[in-house]
Amino acid sequence: MAFTTTNRDTMKGHLVPTRALILVATFGTIGATASSSSLLAQTAAAAHPRPQDTEVWTPVPPIVTPGATDAQPPSDAVVLFDGRNLDQWVSARDKSPAKWVVANGIVTVNKPSGDIETRRSFGNYQLHVEWRIPVGITGEGQDRGNSGVYLAITPAGGYELQVVDSYNNKTYVNGQAASVYKQYAPLVNAARKPGEWQTYDVVWTAPTFKSDGTLATPAYVTAFHNGVLVQNHVALKGFTLNEGTPFYKAHGAAPILLQAHGDKSAPISYRNIWVRPL
């Protein structure tokens, strides 16, 4: 509220200038009641905001020790692959131990054994994953180093952040590297050439569903490719499909899946995979 010349001093019953009221609130409450002094104090605070009025001190954010480099997992991350084994992964086909090839700190797609997925399920999260197209990759378009990171996989479908060689390799833009497959082209093409490691850093907001199974809020994806923003909080239209219109089917927490694509090009590799549930 603002004081005007119509405000009255309750003690004297006379009109009091605004400046005088503020002085009373600031330096004393002579003759004023407790409630009116509180009101005056609030009015004075509004008229003269202090820095500490808008400082928040609790709750204190938990301490997380970052990795030695941004590629390394922070202290609160779930490490999905650190170069040693695939203990955190199973075959998507039959849930048997994952059979991709681990050597020299990296894992290489084993196409005949099919997709692999995490043993654990996740809701919202931050994900880091690195991938490399092999030198001498062959093929064109979608048939050149195709793989993919499914940010959630369910029996009815999944949501693919595309992995494919997009360095001097033309294809439909909503299917190139860092696209949300057939839904959103990346904002830019930040691809590195074959033989170089590339990073995805992703913020995944899982969709939510009403009790009747209909969609409450869509999935959202924010993604960086090699440190460059490529997806800026895009709202997914449903599962990413090769054919037809995307749709949702209700699900809860879900595994993350890496795709073994059936194209004839040489298999790609992954490393440094970790996730921070949010």
> What is the C-alpha to C-alpha distance for residues 110 and 113, in angstroms, rounded to an integer?
6
- The count of residues in the chain is 278
What contacts 179, CB < 8 A, 6 or more positions away?
A: 161, 162, 173, 185, 186
- Cα Rg of the chain, angstroms: 29
Q: What are the two backbone dihedrals, phi and then psi, of residue 178, each rounded to the nearest 5 degrees? A: 75, 10
Of residues 83 and 141, the one with the C-beta less far from Mg ion? 141
Of residues 89 and 131, the one with the C-beta less far from Mg ion? 131
Residue 188 beta carbon to Mg ion: minimum distance, rounded to whole angstroms:
19
Residue 184's DSSP bridge partners are 180
Structure tokens given for 152:
């959630």
Of residues 91 and 259, the one with the C-beta less far from Mg ion? 259
Q: Which stretch binds Mg ion (CB under 5 A): 26-34, 93-101, 147-155, 231-239?
A: 147-155
**Amino acid sitting at position 240:** T
Is there binding between residue 148 and Mg ion (CB under 5 A)? yes
Is there binding between residue 158 and Mg ion (CB under 5 A)? no
Residue 54 beta carbon to Mg ion: minimum distance, rounded to whole angstroms:
48
**99 within 8 A of 93, measured Cβ to Cβ:** no
Of residues 88 and 179, the one with the C-beta less far from Mg ion? 179
Q: Which stretch binds Mg ion (CB under 5 A): 56-64, 119-127, 205-213, 259-267?
A: 259-267
Query: Binding-site residue total for Mg ion (CB under 5 A)?
Result: 3
Of residues 86 and 258, the one with the C-beta less far from Mg ion? 258
Binding site for Mg ion (CB under 5 A): 146, 148, 259
